[in-house]
Amino acid sequence: MFDIERWQEIFDTIRKNKLRTFLTGLSVASGIFILVILLGFGQGMQNGIEKEFSADASNRVWVWTRVTTKEHKGLNPGRRIQLRNENHQYVTTRFADDLDKKSAVFRIRDVFVSYKGESIGYPVQGVSPGYQFIENDYMSQGRFINELDEEKVAKIVIISNKIKREYFGDENPLEEYLDISGIKFKIVGVYGDPGGEREEDRIYIPITTAQRVFNGSDKVNNLSYTLQPAATFEEAVAESVKFTAGLKSYLQEAHTVAPDDPSAVNTFNTLEEAKRYYGLTGNIKFFFWFVGICTIIAGVVSVSNIMLIVVKERTREIGIRKAMGAKPWSIIGMILHESIFVTAISGFTGLIFSMGLLELVGPNVEVDYIVNPSVNFTVALSTVILLIVAGAMAGFFPAWRAARVQVIEALRDE
């Protein structure tokens, strides 16, 4: 029930102790502000990591080779390992049940690309149809390479949105021809990449065409795969680790590489990397929660101390109230109201300022691994409510002490 006299007493006490009340409220508000900002940046880190991994398929396994660094079975170190079509074919057959998309990659070197006499300074790669999904590319115009293109060794080419903007402008590039080292290739598609322009600096042709026309024989530079989806993230990680280990073991055996050679056969598993980064993000979030809660506890302790001072200052008044018949719960309510009021106003002030700052600044923050810091409003509001409950508890013990004061001792207090 609304008691106007009680509220008048609370505001009168606040007016008499403006600085003390302000500093107490500031400690509580700053606790909520710091917690929400820290949680926002924790979410921003998670958003940034998700964006980094969204550039490619989330369950991608990538293979590349270098030179051997160890002697093995009589072969000296320093051998350059060359992947070949038979390696890709063996992997796709042996691990057929595990694989979703697959593609070997052949990078064409020393080629000159031009359009109507204007040089296009972007590299050319030979890939298979599955590479579109491995790279998580989308088609803005036309189509990607298909199996028929590979079978017929078609002279077709896929360019990116970036290349289209730079060399074609508003012109429709489909059915136009690029000159690649004197050979005409028809443009049949324009792709885009969620990773932005930095992922759109490649020109694609069928891998069979790249190998045959540009003297690649059966050589490949990389092997790239995605795995079948799993029921849970942990299962997906376990299956990808198992596949990667089997793949690496086969390639080491096929190319006579020592099992402990750190350089000759290399793999990159996006799920393993994602798990590592998400684990790091989780630890950072936990640390942010710990720091924020410690700051809030400091504010609550400040409220409790102030309430103890209030009780001490009003001991004689409390004795007079009890002498006039005031019940203990009436005394407790009087102290609790002030404690809850200061905590609630301060908590919501900190919440409003922190949420407002994240709303204004968050969408404009986009640096490495931190994108759009934000926080779930329900989580933030729940934190404030818990803070208010904590403020009530902080005020309860001084209030209980006030209620137990003996009338005679209270009246004697100076």
For the segment 289-348, what is each residue's pLDDT rounded down to a tens digit?
Answer: 777 777 777 777 777 776 666 666 666 666 666 666 666 666 667 777 777 777 788 878
210 and 351 part of one domain = no
- Select from 80, 83, 82 the least CA-distant residue to 104: 83
- Select from 193, 119, 121, 113 the least CA-distant residue to 160: 193
272 in a domain, yes or no? no
223 and 242 part of one domain = no
More confident residue, 204 or 56: 204
Q: pLDDT band for 6, please (50, 70, 90 cuts).
A: low
Domain membership of residue 256 as a residue range: 67-98+229-263
Contact by Cβ (8 Å): 205, 157: yes
116 in a domain, yes or no? yes
36 and 106 part of one domain = no
269 in a domain, yes or no? no
Express each pLDDT in 299-308 by its tens digit. 777 777 766 6
90 and 183 part of one domain = no
pTM over 0.85: no
DSSP collapsed to 3 states, 143-159: CCCCHHHHHCCCCEEEE
Contact by Cβ (8 Å): 297, 393: no
136 and 158 part of one domain = yes
Contact by Cβ (8 Å): 190, 160: yes
Which of 168, 199, 227 corresponds to the end of one domain?
A: 227
User: 3-state class of 241 per DSSP?
Assistant: helix
270 in a domain, yes or no? no
Residue 11 has pLDDT above 90, yes or no: no
* pLDDT given for residue 369 in this prediction: 64
DSSP annotation string for 304-319: HHHHHHHHHHTHHHHH
Q: Cα separation of 389 and 340, whole Å?
A: 8
CA geometry: angle 70, 75, 80, nearest 5 deg: 70
- Express the helix, strand and coil content of the chain in percent, nearest 5 each: 55, 20, 25
Express each pLDDT in 47-90 by its tens digit. 776 666 555 546 889 999 999 999 998 889 999 999 999 999 99
Cα distances from 220 to residues 82, 209, 228, 308, in angstroms, run: 7, 13, 24, 77
Buried b (16+ CB within 10 A) or exposed e, 114-152: ebeeeebebebbbbbbbbbbbbbbeeebbbbbeeebbee
42 in a domain, yes or no? yes
203 and 294 part of one domain = no
Q: Write out the two tokens for 173.
A: 């590039």
- Select from 257, 150, 258, 243 the least CA-distant residue to 204: 150
User: 3-state class of 404 per DSSP?
Assistant: coil
240 and 322 part of one domain = no
Contact by Cβ (8 Å): 373, 41: yes
Biggest distance spanned by C-alpha atoms of the chain: 108
- Select from 39, 48, 26, 68 the least CA-distant residue to 285: 39
17 and 134 part of one domain = no
Q: How many domains does the chain have?
A: 3
Contact by Cβ (8 Å): 330, 402: no
155 and 128 part of one domain = yes
Express each pLDDT in 93-150 by its tens digit. 999 998 999 999 999 988 999 998 899 989 999 999 999 999 889 999 999 999 999 9
* pLDDT given for residue 184 in this prediction: 95
Q: Cα separation of 203 and 200, whole Å?
A: 8
61 in a domain, yes or no? no
Pairing of strands 113-115, 177-180: antiparallel
Give, rounded to a whole angstrom, the gap between the first and last alpha carbons of the chain. Answer: 34
119 and 49 part of one domain = no
42 and 127 part of one domain = no
58 in a domain, yes or no? no
* pLDDT given for residue 1 in this prediction: 44
DSSP for residue 72: B
105 and 94 part of one domain = no
> Hey, how many other C-beta atoms are within 10 angstroms of the C-beta on 390?
20
